[in-house]
Structure 1
């Protein structure tokens, strides 16, 4: 007992006289901050990963039952391929050092990352960025739904996750990227993520053409309702939840008060987008349309993603409201004027609302926005970024889709499209046993 007490007193004395030596391997304020930031980023990454469940449900609910397996399969493979390709090549192209601002050159297979400081462990940073990459790719899935060959979609997913998206990331988020050097602001990806997905979706849907029966011989529009609006609603709410990882997580820090502002602006914009879309559909069509209102919520979320850390809560309300009101007008334009068949409204949600949200930073940013006395300089930079990314994605998307079409074909046969891609592409149905046979009913009722 005496020896144990003496040892404890000696350790305490060492700790008082030589604290650095006594606790050299223990936690410090700096290491604690890194640990908190790492946990925060990982949790937010998990929320962003959950968004893929939301995308799956929205796309399935807004399309026909006979294509549900195909929708689910595309989303599952988008995540899986996105993770692998962003590990092998995408991360290096996005964040692999100074190359004059266009593309990264090191970090393939997450090796050779010396000299690159991400503020948190590199694997944690990779994980967060990887789920973002898959999000950009899965946007295309909904716009080309119900008529694209599964293998054609897989090939395009490989290209967008391995090259098209990572290059844009390098331009904006790498620090030395040419758009970052100009002062372009896209905090969490209205253009980097949603613009890339939206513009790629536009060129894909345009090259594929409309679904059979969408337009009549004289150009009249025929609605093709989705089979389960409840799934679409649940998917939208899951995406809304996931956005609280998407936007606040982009701070890469759980020790900053900015996450409260970002969560608030995100919530307000989504809510305003919902109301804005509902008002427009109610006035325009005489009824408050649920499908367009759900997309209005997503439009508000996409719109605020670029400026969520740069605008005030009041500014977020304005951005969300305008995004939501733009959404049904954009859907009507692509449907009626451009004749681009987009079953889920992905082009309007991600492309058009992403475009507006990125430009809105130049208007509503508290520091440098036009409405706050900053002049037109920030707006001009935002416009430069929007045009550059749109041109990149439209050009590369056209080339890739065209090559796929020439080599293996983009579109399934008319017979397969009419029967449904579930059977034609995957040999199974999503609701094979949903309907009960009459014999089963009588058996349950006790009749012979």
Structure 2
């Protein structure tokens, strides 16, 4: 089988996004692309939700579940700060709608080939380019070759780091018996939740209508909770804090996102590259990934389609990565109150500027002004301490983004409603 121009391993967010941009119409000579997707089973990611901010008119707007012109953050005492981050809107995209949109483009791409297989290894080929070793659906060995290979599979282990936390969460899509949600306002962080000794926790409410919303409980801490822990936290938040009354759960989601100042290699060889979370696209201080994946994929696809040399751009610059390392250490050490830290930022920094800061796209003068809105003494102490902290492999019993113990409760099929206490 002749080598393709590009082999993309994995059909999750990063793999599908790169294929989407590689197969955009208009190329005089389309690139030949092989997209390798895992067969049905545990290697396939479950349905999930991505949120991001951008102005109206984005490439995925037709597939959005909802978007909001206002964001609200509530302090631990219930004080609400509402920001209008115009021209941005906060957008919610469900993975099934995203996949349908991408599939429509890929179905019209003449030089794209889909392969369903279980990948066992990705490496440089002895005669140049890269190769993917896999087992097809019958269990037969399969070798796929490409001039360049992009591997989006989650990392088997997190890199050595000075600080490693997890952003872990469970969410319910709920339907209430009375109108309790404001469809124009998303609650980005609601700190009226019991706070862990180190790190932070918050509620997250994304209204879809006056009667329906995604309600999540989220923690930034060293270890994920078990299922009972999430159920207790969500029960407290929905009943005691939000006071939703009677409601039904129509679907569930659960996830674990690494938050680390470890260095994710973007290159695994001369012709093998890592993309997505495995390539460092997850913002260490927030867990947001979607926008960085889009930015990186557009750049890679544009260079390849133009026949230019490929330089894998870092998802974030050196200054945002340094600031993230300071914040992670400050949270993990307990030097700063995480709930007050973020609540103060939203109170005192204009919404549009703060979103650009969280996305790593602010300029140095803006970063300095925002830094003055943080607890200066604890942050400076952390800055002075970081160069002397060694990078160590995370404790596998704590910072393991793949461990979910016990298994999460099953998600009911779309349309089936299930009562909750």
Which structure has more helix as a fraction of its residues?
A: 1
Which structure has more strand as a fraction of its residues?
A: 2
TM-score for both structures, normalised by structure 2: 0.25
Structure with the greater alpha carbon radius of gyration: 1
TM-score for both structures, normalised by structure 1: 0.24
